[in-house]
């Protein structure tokens, strides 16, 4: 069962560590900047068909902000929506958002609390789909979504509970693929997806100490894999061509450092933000293929957590630093290896931040949920300032949002 205080920030693409039994990714920061890649997103964002909605792609120049596999967007209008799941009952709700207004609030089919989920776009229609995985039985199901309607519900092959899925696009066709990683024996398998049809390929095994992060370091539109050894701090990149990897070794970084993937210079290649969880030190690797250029950044508190967005709409990912212990929030506007810091209002420790663009203007906003009280608030952001604060309907604390 999901605990109500574990529901919300992308690290490592940060979203890829399983912190609750009901999500593959920790939905505090739900911007999957590393889930897909430039060319696949460009094809995806232009394949929107009208199904009773007025559709437009998001105006942000970086295509990661137009991907329905990165930001939840069920109707493909370029505005981030909300998916709510009840950790006790398995009920599900979708809020279609129009800025701070809930345009439609729909109850979806119930999936028992044993089922975990991940967002994706399996058919490349620029509308968010859902991958469901049963943590006990290993069953897998895909919901192909058309707005708030489950257009198709398809059972996929069962994999035992030791396998964990990572959302990707290995062949740059704009359709979500899946990297399956066995956390016990280190085996790796790719499902190349065409809608709900999969073609399976086996990759080289790596022992269980290695953790994958999905990215695209060479701008070819095909997902690559950043591997980090959680015991030794070793790092390597698999540059992927479909299901064929080319391995490169990078510098070792102490295990005190955690990583978050972004695109800090707006060149459409994934970069890496490193944060030292003991000292608060920070640095960024601007990546050129498998070659990093390192820049040292200012310190933050060691307990700060990074969320990735683009708050000024320039196509370069920025960083929201949130310290749950103090409630402080700091925004770093990024220009490559340079950060300009701005202080945002403080919110108490019960509030969790979810990144999105709810009005579709190309700049990131913040959806705040209080898992103690059930309150919800949206901050509309322009540059480094909160321009509006809007209260949304309250949902009891067993509901978590993604």
Average per-residue pLDDT for the chain = 89
| Max mean pLDDT range (10-14, 57-61, 186-190, 348-352) | 186-190
pLDDT of residue 240: 98
- The answer to whether the CB of 21 falls within 8 A of the CB of 135 is yes
What's residue 43's pLDDT?
39
Percent of the chain with pLDDT over 90: 84
Render 297-359 in DSSP notation, one character per residue. E----TT-EEEEE-SSSSSS-EEEEEETTTTEEEEEEEETTEEEEEEEPP--TTEEEEEE-TT
Classify 401 as helix, strand or coil. Answer: strand
User: Which residues, 6 or more positions from 197, have their beta carbon under 8 angstroms from its beta carbon?
Assistant: none
Q: Cβ(7)–Cβ(400) under 8 Å?
A: yes
Mean pLDDT of 300-327: 97
The whole model's pTM is what?
Answer: 0.89
Q: In the structure encoding, which two tokens stand for residue 167, read together?
A: 């959302």
> How far is residue 142's CA from residue 48's CA, in Å, rounded to a whole number?
20
Over residues 124-155, the pLDDT tens digits come to 999 999 999 999 999 999 999 999 999 999 99
In degrees and rounded to multiples of 5, residue 248 shows phi and psi of -135, 140
Reply yes or no on whether the pLDDT at 21 is more than 60: no
Q: Which residue from 338, 357, 330, 188 is spatially nearest to 271, judged by alpha carbons?
A: 338
> Please, which pLDDT band fits residue 66 given cuts at 50, 70 and 90?
confident
Strand partners, 229: 210
**396, burial (CB in 10 Å: exposed 0-12, middle 13-18, buried 19+):** exposed
- The pLDDT value recorded for residue 333 is 98
End-to-end CA distance of the chain: 16
Backbone phi, psi, residue 243, to 5°: -100, 15
Report the pLDDT value the prediction gives residue 57, as an integer from 0 to 100.
Answer: 75
The span from the CA of 153 to the CA of 305, in Å, is: 36
pLDDT of residue 348: 92
Mean pLDDT of 82-88: 98
For position 376, what pLDDT does the model report? Answer: 98
Q: What 3-state DSSP class applies to 279?
A: coil
* pLDDT band for position 322 (cuts 50, 70, 90): very high
- Band of residue 31 on the pLDDT scale cut at 50, 70, 90: low
CA angle 56/58/62 to nearest 5° reads: 140
In this prediction, residues 46-61 reach a mean pLDDT of: 53
Using the predicted structure, report yes or no on whether residue 288 has a pLDDT greater than 60: yes
Q: Does residue 110 carry a pLDDT above 70?
A: yes
226, 237 Cβ separation under 8 angstroms? yes
Length of the chain (residues): 402
Using one digit for the tens of pLDDT, what is the confidence trace for 144-195?
Answer: 999 999 999 999 999 999 999 999 999 999 999 999 999 999 999 999 999 9
Q: Note whether 51 and 304 are within 8 A (CB).
A: no
Instruction: State the Cα–Cα distance between residues 182 and 243, nearest whole angstrom.
Output: 17
């Amino acid at each position: 069962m999901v605990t109500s205080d574990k529901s919300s920030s992308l690290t490592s693409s940060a979203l890829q560590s399983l912190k609750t039994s009901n999500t593959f990714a920790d939905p505090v920061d739900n911007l999957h900047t590393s889930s897909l890649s430039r060319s696949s997103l460009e094809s995806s964002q232009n394949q929107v068909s009208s199904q009773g909605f007025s559709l437009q792609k998001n105006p942000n120049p970086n295509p990661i902000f137009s991907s329905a596999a990165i930001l939840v967007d069920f109707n493909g209008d370029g505005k981030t929506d909300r998916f709510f799941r009840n950790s006790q009952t398995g009920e599900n709700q979708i809020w279609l958002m129009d800025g701070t207004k809930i345009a439609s609030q729909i109850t979806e089919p119930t999936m028992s609390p044993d089922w975990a989920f991940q967002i994706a776009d399996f058919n490349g229609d620029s509308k968010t789909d859902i991958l469901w995985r049963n943590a006990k039985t290993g069953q897998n199901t895909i919901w192909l979504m058309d707005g708030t309607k489950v257009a198709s519900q398809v059972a996929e092959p069962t994999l035992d509970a030791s396998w964990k899925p990572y959302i990707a696009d290995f062949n740059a066709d704009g359709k979500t693929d899946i990297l399956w990683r066995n956390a016990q024996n280190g085996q790796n398998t790719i499902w190349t997806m065409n809608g709900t049809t999969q073609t399976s390929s086996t990759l080289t095994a790596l022992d269980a100490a290695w953790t994958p992060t999905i990215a695209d370091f060479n701008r070819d539109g095909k997902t690559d894999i950043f591997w980090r050894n959680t015991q030794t701090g070793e790092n390597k990149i698999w540059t992927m061509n479909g299901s064929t990897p080319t391995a490169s070794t990078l510098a070792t970084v102490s295990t005190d450092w955690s990583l978050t993937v972004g695109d800090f210079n707006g060149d459409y290649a994934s970069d890496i933000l490193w944060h030292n969880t003991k000292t608060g030190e920070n640095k960024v690797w601007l990546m050129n293929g498998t070659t990093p250029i390192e820049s040292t950044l200012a310190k933050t508190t060691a307990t700060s957590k990074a969320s990735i967005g683009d708050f000024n709409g320039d196509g370069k990912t920025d960083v929201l630093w949130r310290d749950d212990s103090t409630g402080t929030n700091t925004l770093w506007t990024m220009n490559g290896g340079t950060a300009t810091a701005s202080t945002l209002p403080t919110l108490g420790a019960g509030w969790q931040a979810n990144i999105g663009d709810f009005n579709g203007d190309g700049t990131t906003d913040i959806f705040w949920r209080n898992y103690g009280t059930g309150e919800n608030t949206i901050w509309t952001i322009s540059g480094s300032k909160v321009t509006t604060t809007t209260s949304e309907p309250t949902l009891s604390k067993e509901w978590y949002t993604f």
